[in-house]
Chains A and B, each alone.
Chain A
Amino acid sequence: MRSVSSVCLVLLSCSLFASCQTGSDALLDSLTEIDSQGRFLVSPRWSPGGERLLLSGRGGVGLYVVQLDTGKIDELDPAFRGAARWDAAGDITHSFAGLDDGSQLLYSDDGIRVSFSDYRGRLIVSRRDMSRVLAEDAWGATVAPDGGMVAYCTGHLPVAELHVVRIDGTLEYSGPGAQPEWLPDDRRLVFTRPQAADDGGTDNGIVGADLFMLDLATHETRRLTATPKITEMQPAISPSGKLAFTDWRSGRLFVAKLALPGGGS
């Protein structure tokens, strides 16, 4: 049998992602599909050094690590359920920074602390002895690397609304979108915009999705992908600005460089 190499990177042309550019600026560069070796992969999480990706299997079950330079996939635990992430040292941990009230610590620096309580979806910013609720009924909250802004979502996934607020509570942006991920420049973020299944009005699942980028300096939203056959979800940005995402239809994993006008990549 002469099979394709099971090793790693299958270079895709931009023709696969037919409109991976808008206007004259190509925003996705060197788009590659990582050979998942037959696995259905979701939820990419970059290692601190940007050379590995932590992923889950179908239904969030299983834990895998992809070594990007070789394409090797390590199956850590095919039966794993729950939360896992990289710690600062590049090890995988199953524990999250939690506070006494059960909320999750999202950001802490210079006396400012941002926490998220999953139960009621309560996003809280604390400064010294003062606390205020930034948002309620939120999910998918993520803080900009410099701690200046928080992005979060509300509503069901297919019709989710993306919101960005400054740490003082000022609303910066609100529009359709989900699963935001900040770029290292603190002013841009990548998010997905799912397409709801048309089943007579109830948002029962999604039939597709594409990736977009929001520039909070200009409040301009730009499309990164336009692929009816690929459901791009869960964008993840590495510390150096590389983008990873998965196709929820097939479980395929993609990695790209972001070619950003104005720098930041």
Chain B
Amino acid sequence: MSRAARLCVALCALIWLTPLAARAVPECGGEQDTCSCGRSNYCLCDGTCGNCVWHAWHMACCSWGRALEWCTDAGTWDEYATSNGYPTGDDPHDASVFVCNPSGTCSDWGHVGWVVSAYPDGSFDSTEQYWGGPCGTYDKHRVAGFATGGFIYNPDQPDVDDAAFVAETIPDGTHFAPGENFVKRWTMRNSGNSSWTRDGNYLWTRDGEESFGAAEQTLLPAGATVAPGQTHDWDVPMTAPSAPGTYRGYFRMDNYGVGRFGDRVWVEIIVDDLPPEDAGVDAGVDAGADSQADAGVDAGVDAGATDSAWDGGDPARTDENGAETGCRCSTHRPTPAGFLLMLIAGLLAVGSSRRRKRSRTRPANYTVVE
């Protein structure tokens, strides 16, 4: 081997063995590697023109404070993310990495970029660079389905709670008689990274305005898990108010103790002027929706449930069958015998007051008991 050849081999070996940190690429596509995530950006750049992986790595470093453990061809990022334990999925999230697998659309090496904003139609805004130009960093808008390799989410925020409205029953403007019972269903999709479980304190909660006599909280069935991307049907028993008018009440997902999240949805109904002959036949629920003036009636039902206050303590809860779970409801719980007595008294009182005119005022908090 000639001296020149030996020198070349030595140089190549030196480059190969040089620690990655020493091979930092401090500038690419007009961006400087100024963020701090534990190591320098070592992704290749096409001169200083740009490279999609350099930019995606850079944004993960800046936004997540995380140095990705790989900077391979773009089309392999989904596999490396999975093998390195990063959460991935099919839904675009703000501040995530999108992956487009090698194809005619995204070149033979694939493509990656940074998701800035995600939209209801599945499209998203991104920032991206390209190998081979055009040089620089570009603001793009990508259509739903562009990211054929899915999305890589921030692993240091695995519990990103989010919920997206999918469908509902009882459309806005549905008419009911005063005091009529109904069950509203919302289908919500887990659009976050966390799984919803009862033990994890994920529940469905009232979130303002008219309560419709609904339980303050509705829990998931015991043992149920709603994984990211899955949907869940929340069925909430309700009672139409006693006075005619248009009413709206809001509901939302709640990671109890952490915060409410996701789409805030509502039920909006019209209560007609004339109550039907059988109004108030469901004593248990109807009494719950009754007025403060019907104190004797409400006493039975309210006491049978829990007298809790959302603002002051743990709210009352039901599971999806309307049964009280009481896992955090410790206030003013009567004995079983007392409950029975009060319930009987309540039923008798309701029977005698079925035709009584009712005001719209009602107890602020109570639990529906079936």
Contacts and interface: CB of A to CB of B under 8 A. Distances in A.
Interface residues of A, number: 52
A248 B118 CA distance: 12
B202 to A, nearest CB: 19
Contacts of A202: 116
Nearest to A84: B145
A57 B169 CA distance: 16
Contacts, number: 137
B232 interface: no
A154 B171 CA distance: 38
Residue from B120, B130, B166 with most neighbouring chain A CB atoms (10 Å) = B120
Interface string B75-117: 0000000000000001100100000100111110001000011
B51 to A, nearest CB: 14
A139 B169 contact: no
Given A38-B167, A157-B123, 11 more contacts: A1-B174, A2-B272, A118-B142, A118-B143, A137-B140, A139-B141, A139-B143, A156-B139, A204-B94, A233-B121, A251-B120
Given A58-B189, A137-B138, A139-B143, A39 B117 contact: no
A114 interface: no
Interface of A: 1-4, 6, 35, 37-40, 42-43, 56-61, 81-83, 98, 100-103, 117-121, 136-137, 139-140, 153-158, 160, 178, 202-206, 233-234, 248, 251
Nearest to A104: B105
Contacts of A43: 121, 144
A38 B103 contact: no
Contact of B120 (A1, A42, A156): A42
A101 B144 contact: no
Nearest to A60: B122
B367 interface: no
Contacts of A140: 141
Given A38-B167, A40-B165, A204 B117 contact: yes
B125 interface: yes
Contacts of B175: 1-4
B104 to A, nearest CB: 2
B125 A38 contact: no
A246 to B, nearest CB: 8
